[in-house]
Structure 1
Amino acid sequence: MHLVPGLKVLYFGTPVVLVSTLNPDGTANLAPMSSAWWLGQSAMLGMGANSQTAANLQRHGECVLNLPSSIMVDAVDRIALTTGKREITDYKQKQGYRYVADKFALGGLTPQESSLVAPPRVRECPIQMECRVQAVHPFGPSAHGYEVTVLRTHVAEELVIPGTSHIDPLRWDPLIMKFCDFFGGGINVYPSRLAEAWQMPTTASAT
């Protein structure tokens, strides 16, 4: 039997992406997000229209999509519920967001110079994609879809199948977000501040 519960959140399972962009003053912003998909050498990113990342993408048009492995979950969670925007909306304040100027430092992450775009890569991420925005699409009442072209991909050597240009899926363990909780290798790997802020129920709390 199937239920028709009218799900509030549809994050069935998507990779976490650390998006690095440039602020108006030239400093780097870093933001975790998990509404992304790829086709060929293009990607579509979905995010709220009022974030600092959204403003940077529209103004500057470049970014790096850094894919963390599951062992990086603590660094990702440290920068959750932070924003590079000084003016925080009432909605985000109620969720517990706070302004942080240097999210690389907060997460214990290292900026790494990119080859073709201005925003830095995240050295610790085993997969990094330098991208340029091609189009911005309104999506829902308060979000945008950002269509980006991947200009160059950097992959940790140990993830590449020798003699090919393909990633070994047995070696690559991406950090996945399912309904605001962090997963890796098919198991819940870390308590999520975001899930708490969204007041997401757990299996334990529902029994």
Structure 2
Amino acid sequence: MVLLTTENDDGSPNLAPMSSAWALGQTIVLGLGKDGQTGHNLSRRPELVVNVPGPHLWRQVERLAGVTGRHPVPETKPAGCRYVADKFGEAGLTPRASEAVRPPRVAECGLQFEARAARVQPDSAKDFLIVEAEVLKVHADPAIVVPGTDHVEPGAWEPLIYNFRHYFGLSEELGFSYRSQTPR
């Protein structure tokens, strides 16, 4: 699970949760809905921040799950999705200035990757957007970095995991998404 920050047409930030992300070297590959504000923003302004939350932020992430920065709300969004302009405020998260890109970082996230989208294109079925982002700058909480290196200590870092619409750390389940079809 990651939180993406991008820049809206008016210069304000957009903040969006997404669960389709993986990294290979200095490239992060993202899978986005084609009709959302994040895809709209990246097709016009390629700068973004990939913020990696820890499990303690699952409720803040879930507050973003049912909102969009796109107005009017696209018909392709799930029922009940509503427009919110200030998504940082909606989630109770803090924007922090980036160093290499315009969109802000999420202060509460232990890992943040400032990046530039090198490629934004539809998937083969044209249902989603595939984004290849080049990492320009990495920020890591010093508490999770191996002393004297630029490496994250795996035992000190626990990312938020989104597993079939349920939130987990690296251990027990923390809660579930409003879209879950298997709530407890």
State the TM bucket, normalised to the shorter chain: over 0.9
Deviation per CA, 1:12-34: give whole Å up to 9, x if none. Answer: xxxx1100000000000000001
The answer to whether the Cα contact below 8 Å between 2:93 and 2:107 also exists between their aligned partners in 1 is yes
Name the SS of the counterpart of 1:25 in structure 2.
Answer: coil
Name the SS of the counterpart of 1:54 in structure 2.
Answer: helix
**Alignment partner of 1:120 is 2:104:** yes
CA distance in 2, matches of 1:148, 1:89: 25
| 2:170 matched residue in structure 1 | 185
CA distance in 2, matches of 1:136, 1:143: 10
Instruction: Read off the aligned partner of 2:31 and give its amino acid letter.
Output: G
Instruction: Read off the aligned partner of 1:96 and give its amino acid letter.
Output: G
| 1:170 matched residue in structure 2 | 155
Equivalent of 2:16 in 19, 31, 36: 31
Instruction: Read off the aligned partner of 1:106 and give its amino acid letter.
Output: E
TM-score (norm 1): 0.85
Deviation per CA, 1:125-179: give whole Å up to 9, x if none. Answer: 0100000010123213310100000000000000001112111111111000011
CA distance in 2, matches of 1:121, 1:109: 10
Higher mean displacement: 53-62 or 135-144 = 135-144
Name the SS of the counterpart of 2:149 in structure 1.
Answer: coil
TM-score (norm 2): 0.95
Equivalent of 1:100 in 71, 81, 84: 84
CA distance in 2, matches of 1:34, 1:188: 16
| 2:145 matched residue in structure 1 | 160
Q: Which runs of 5+ in 1 are unaligned?
A: 1-15
> How many correspondences in the alignment?
183
Name the SS of the counterpart of 2:35 in structure 1.
Answer: coil
Name the SS of the counterpart of 1:95 in structure 2.
Answer: coil
CA distance in 1, matches of 2:135, 2:74: 32
Larger radius of gyration: 1
Instruction: Read off the aligned partner of 2:182 and give its amino acid letter.
Output: P
CA distance in 2, matches of 1:48, 1:33: 9
CA distance in 1, matches of 2:20, 2:75: 23
| 1:49 matched residue in structure 2 | 34
Instruction: Read off the aligned partner of 1:126 and give its amino acid letter.
Output: G
RMSD: 1.2
Name the SS of the counterpart of 1:90 in structure 2.
Answer: coil
Name the one with the larger helix percent.
Answer: 1
Q: How does 1:124-135 map to 2 (within 5 A)?
A: 124-135=108-119
**Alignment partner of 1:62 is 2:47:** yes
CA distance in 2, matches of 1:142, 1:37: 19
CA distance in 2, matches of 1:80, 1:136: 22
Instruction: Read off the aligned partner of 1:39 and give its amino acid letter.
Output: L
Q: Which runs of 5+ in 2 are unaligned?
A: none
Q: Percent identity?
A: 43
